[in-house]
């Protein structure tokens, strides 16, 4: 039964996981910018965010 529920909700679960990742990444980038004195791009490079994802995050950082 649990497996069936997971299957039914897999898209919602995936979206919630991605939101949590986005929130954590933005917080980490902002912290590096504030405490490390680096740009958003430099912070994302330090964290290892791929360039294609950097474009997605740039407007919210």
User: For 3-60, how does the pLDDT look when each residue is reduced to its tens digit (9 = 90+)?
Assistant: 988 889 999 999 999 999 999 999 999 999 999 999 999 999 999 999 999 998 988 8
23 near 29, Cβ under 8 Å? no
* Euclidean distance between CA atoms 35 and 49, whole angstroms: 19
State residue 2's pLDDT score.
86
Place of tokens 């405490």: 35
Q: How confident is the model at residue 61 (pLDDT cuts 50, 70, 90)?
A: confident
Residue 56 DSSP symbol: H
Which pTM was predicted?
0.79
Looking at residue 60, its pLDDT comes to 87
């Amino acid at each position: 039964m649990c497996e069936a529920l997971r299957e039914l909700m897999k898209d919602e679960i995936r979206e919630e996981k991605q939101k949590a990742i986005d929130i954590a990444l933005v917080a980490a980038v902002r912290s590096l910018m504030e405490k490390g004195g680096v740009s958003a791009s430099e912070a994302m490079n330090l964290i290892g965010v791929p360039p294609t994802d950097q474009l997605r995050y740039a407007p919210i950082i």
